[in-house]
Structure formats: C-alpha cells, structure tokens
C-alpha cells in the first residue's frame, strides 16, 4: 500500500461539495491586505503550532506564495489539512483583533489554504532544515496527524523515520474521519505524499500489539513515538446495539469517505452531541436520509460540539432531541429498527428518567457517537509507560513518557482534541527527541 490517492468519486464530490471553497487569487490578495500585521499576533499565540500568521499572510499579499507556504510548513507540516479542519472560530480567527475593531476577522484558514494549495500544485519538495547526516532511527506508531508531524519534523532534520500504520491508508482521522466537505480524503493523502517524498518510510497493515512486537521495534529503532490516537467508539451499553443497522459514527464516516457506503435512506438517529456526532448526522443527510435526529441525553447548553457545528447541522436539516436517552433497540419484522427512548431531567450531574415519557422511534440506521475509548489494552503492554485515566502521561513540553525511549502525542495523550493539537505535540516531541539523542551522543 502507498499514499497514492483514492479514485475520484463524482457522486461523493457532488454530495459533499466543499463548505468553504478556495479563494480566487485576487480575493486572497485583497483579504491578505486587510490583515493589520499585528505585533506578536494573538492569532499566532492562539494556534497550538504557533504559525506566524501575519508573516504568511503578508507573503501572500506581496505575491511570495512559496515563502508563505514555507512559513506555514515550518510551524505546521499539516498546514494544508489544518487550513480545512481547524475550528478557527475558537483559535486563530477567534483571536483576531478585528473582532474588537467591529470588523470581520481575517479569513486566516482560507488564506492558509490558498498558500498551501499553490505549494502542492507546484509539486515542490519540502526543503530540509539541516543536512547533517544523522544516525538516528525513530518509529512512529500510528499514521495520524501526531505521528505525521513528528516524523516530518525529524526527517527534515535528517533522522531515519518509519511510520507504522495498521490500516491500508495513512492519515488516521485526517483520511478516514473528517467530514468530506471539510477535508477530502484525497487532499489528506496528497499532503501525506509530500511527507513520504521527504523520505519518511511508511509501513501499512502493521499492528504493534504485543510485547514481542515492541521488543522488535526497540531493536530496530532508537526511539518510539506513540501517536496511536484513541480506540474504538464507545458503546451505548443498551440491548440490541450489535444488531445490523447499528453503525458507529466513525465507521459511517470512514465508509462513505472510502466509497463503501453510498446511500442512506429513511430515518437515521445519531446518539451524542459532539463534533463527530454532527459530522455523522450531516453525512447521513447528504447520503440521502429523509429524517435525521440527533439525540442527546443532556441539554443544548451541555453539547460539546462547537457552536458553528451546531448551526451548520441545523442548516443541513438535522433535528435535535434534547434530554432523551436511548434504552434499547430492536429489529422489526419489516427490517426497520425500533429505538426505545425516555425523557430525562438533570439533577446536578445525574439524569433521572421522567415517568411515562417513554417513546419509540422507528428508524433505519442507529449511529452511536458518544466518543472514542482509549487504547488501554495496547498501552498497558508498554512497560514503563505510565497510563492514567486511559491517557499516556508525558512531560508536556517534550512529550517524553516515563520510559525515556518512548514519547507520545496527540489524542492518546490529550484524550481527543483537534488535528492541530496533535501536530503541535508531534512537532514539539520531534525536537525533544533530537535533543535527547544529541545529549545521549555527547554523554
């Protein structure tokens, strides 16, 4: 397997046309000129990877697109996908001083995409940061954003790096888990191909799931980076959830993005109110579902999805059922599902069923979306790597675990944040690994 693109799927493209189309060159120049070029800019501080936002924007304004892309890539090797998937309302664009100037914030994400698209179109390689021959070998377990970032940073500084991925394609959630109207799987793969061309080795279909496997790794590599993300979707814990017609949100998203799920009909119920639940509900609408309910046991004000995601779901026609809990799911003779639910009320953090409030929803697909469980089983195999509450414990600035040869970053450390957080972890950790290796060499 390789980082080659998925075949172009016209139906997928049409149904999941981009939410935010790219800026035309002149529109980008005009928008770039609007940037005030703040000193020590709040947008840069708000970005977990601290991209020099005014710096790359002014390069767009001057027509130095290559320099702009370099400025982005120096801080964030996944600048292309982050431009598409970052919740910029709560990051760079949320921090833009234009809000206090009673103006629209600068469209940082679209400008970043403009520079990165031009770079990818040029086909240019990412230049090395140093060209000192370095005898350092690092394995990155998991092919998601944290590992990609760590591997790329190390490779730019001439380490030998291999990414070990259990699936057929690299990218983790970037390839399999982001709504297609935000980031197309093909664009994720294009970005990863850029990293492959830097000389990062990819090994697919590799599961590192035993002590023996880790021992083999330790003999081949000097350091191991754990970018394993989170595990399977959490289960609802209700009767009937293994029936046909129940498909968790990540499975649904991965299936349609890879062309395996092309149509959905009738009524779909998504359980949960996070960003992934919203992505799944919107996807169900776009795949053809007539009615999509998003069912959440708490209230609107408790939902963890970003405000703009909630607004978007409403525009897509998703209907929300608040303070309703699923009890059981059954399969009827006609092949449809019956989901028994009950209205609940919240007393402090506890949820109490309201008497005589049960009702049954007939649906064709039930989509649990109540978060991912940590990969505890795997993590416990790792001797000397401390795991607390299902998360790997690291030193925040270096990403180093209790075992000095093991580093970690991304969702398996932070419990599930954004792509840009994983990229930041990977970058910081790569630099820490280099430092540790240099210290060891001088010892």
Partner 1 sequence: MPDIRIRNFAGGIHSLNPFWLASAPPTNCGEQIMRAFDAGWGGAVWKTIGEPVTNVSSRYSSIDWQAQRIMGFNNIELISDRTVEDNLREMAEVKRRYPQNAVIASLMVASNRDTWHEIVARAEDAGADGLELNFGCPHGMSERGMGSAVGQVPEYTEMITGWVKEKAHTPVLVKLTPNISDIRMVARAAKRGGADGLSAINTINSITGIDLDTFVPRPDVDGKSSHGGYCGPAVKPIALNMVQQIMADPESALPLSGIGGIGTWRDAAEFILLGSGTVQVCTAVMHYGYRIVEDMIEGLENWMRSKGFATIEEFCGLSVNRVAEWKHLNLNYKIVARIDEQKCIGCDLCHIACWDGAHQCIHLDRVSGPVDGHVELHPTPAQKEVETRASLAFTPVTRKERIMDPAVHGPYPTPLERIPRVDETECVGCNLCSLVCPVDNCITMVRVENGLAPETWEERTRGQTCAVQPQSSIG
Report the interface residues with partner 1, using CB under 8 A.
Answer: 29-30, 33-34, 36-40, 42, 44-48, 50, 61, 86-87, 90-91, 94-95, 97-98, 100-101, 301-302, 304, 396-397, 414, 416-418, 420-421, 424
Cβ atoms 183, 221 nearer than 8 A: no
Q: Which is nearer to partner 1, 53 or 154 (CB)?
A: 53
Q: Tell me the backbone φ, ψ of residue 440, rounded to 5 degrees.
A: -65, -40
Q: Cβ–Cβ contacts within 10 Å for residue 70, how many? A: 18
Q: Cβ–Cβ contacts within 10 Å for residue 24, how many? A: 10
The nearest distance, CB 226 to partner 1, in angstroms, is 18
Concatenated DSSP letters for 202-259? EEES----SHHHHHHHHHH-SEEEE-----SBPP---TTTTSTTB--HHHHHHHHHTT
Q: Which is nearer to partner 1, 62 or 362 (CB)?
A: 62
Q: Which is nearer to partner 1, 67 or 94 (CB)?
A: 94
The nearest distance, CB 82 to partner 1, in angstroms, is 11
Q: Which is nearer to partner 1, 32 or 161 (CB)?
A: 32
3-state SS of 363-396 is ECEEEECCCECCCHHHHHHCCCCCEECCEECCCC
Distance CA 305, CA 233 (A): 17
Q: Which is nearer to partner 1, 5 or 234 (CB)?
A: 234
The nearest distance, CB 390 to partner 1, in angstroms, is 16
The nearest distance, CB 50 to partner 1, in angstroms, is 5
The nearest distance, CB 66 to partner 1, in angstroms, is 14
Q: Which is nearer to partner 1, 87 or 142 (CB)?
A: 87
3 state SS of 88: helix
Strands 324-331 and 337-347, by their bridges, are antiparallel
Distance CA 337, CA 240 (A): 10
The nearest distance, CB 421 to partner 1, in angstroms, is 5
3 state SS of 344: strand
Q: Tell me the backbone φ, ψ of residue 113, rounded to 5 degrees.
A: -60, -40
Separation of first and last alpha carbons in the chain: 40
Q: Which is nearer to partner 1, 364 or 418 (CB)?
A: 418
The nearest distance, CB 49 to partner 1, in angstroms, is 9
């Amino acid at each position: 397997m390789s980082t080659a693109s998925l075949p172009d799927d016209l139906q997928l493209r049409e149904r999941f046309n981009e939410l935010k189309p790219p800026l035309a060159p002149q529109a980008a120049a005009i928008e770039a000129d609007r940037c005030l070029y703040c000193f020590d800019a709040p947008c840069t501080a708000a970005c977990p990877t601290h991209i020099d936002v005014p710096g790359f924007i002014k390069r767009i304004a001057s027509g130095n697109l290559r320099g702009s892309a370099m400025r982005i890539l120096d801080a964030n090797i996944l600048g292309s996908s982050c431009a598409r998937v970052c919740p910029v309302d709560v990051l760079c664009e949320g921090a833009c001083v234009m809000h206090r100037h009673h103006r629209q914030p600068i469209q940082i994400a679209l400008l970043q995409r403009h520079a990165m698209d031009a770079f990818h179109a040029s086909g240019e390689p990412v230049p090395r940061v140093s060209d000192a021959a370095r005898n350092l070998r690092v394995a990155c377990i998991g092919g998601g954003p944290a590992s990609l970032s760590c591997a790329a940073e190390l490779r730019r500084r001439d380490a030998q790096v291999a990414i070990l991925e259990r699936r057929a394609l690299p990218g983790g959630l970037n390839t399999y888990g982001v709504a297609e109207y935000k980031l197309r799987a093909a664009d994720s793969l294009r970005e990863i191909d850029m990293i492959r061309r830097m000389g990062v080795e990819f090994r697919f279909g590799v599961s590192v799931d035993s002590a023996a496997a880790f021992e083999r790794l330790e003999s081949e590599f000097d350091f191991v980076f754990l970018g394993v993300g989170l595990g399977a979707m959490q289960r609802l814990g209700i009767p009937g959830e293994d029936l046909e017609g129940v498909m968790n949100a990540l499975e649904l998203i991965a299936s349609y993005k890879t062309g395996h799920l092309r149509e959905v009909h009738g009524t779909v119920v998504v359980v949960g109110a996070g960003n992934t639940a919203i992505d799944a509900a919107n996807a169900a609408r776009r795949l053809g579902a007539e009615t999509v309910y998003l069912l959440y046991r708490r209230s609107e004000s408790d939902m963890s999805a970003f405000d703009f995601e909630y607004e978007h779901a409403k525009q897509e026609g998703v209907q929300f059922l608040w303070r309703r809990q699923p009890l059981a799911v059954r399969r009827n003779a006609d092949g449809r599902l019956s989901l028994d639910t009950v209205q609940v009320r919240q007393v402090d953090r506890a949820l109490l069923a309201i008497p005589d409030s049960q009702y049954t929803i007939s649906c064709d697909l039930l989509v649990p979306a109540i978060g991912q469980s940590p990969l505890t089983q795997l993590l416990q195999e790792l001797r000397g790597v401390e795991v607390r509450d299902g998360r790997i414990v690291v030193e925040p600035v270096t990403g180093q675990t209790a075992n000095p040869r093991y580093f970690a970053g991304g969702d398996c450390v932070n419990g599930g944040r954004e792509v840009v957080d994983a990229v930041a972890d990977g970058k910081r950790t790569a630099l820490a690994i280099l430092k540790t290796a240099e210290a060891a060499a001088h010892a």
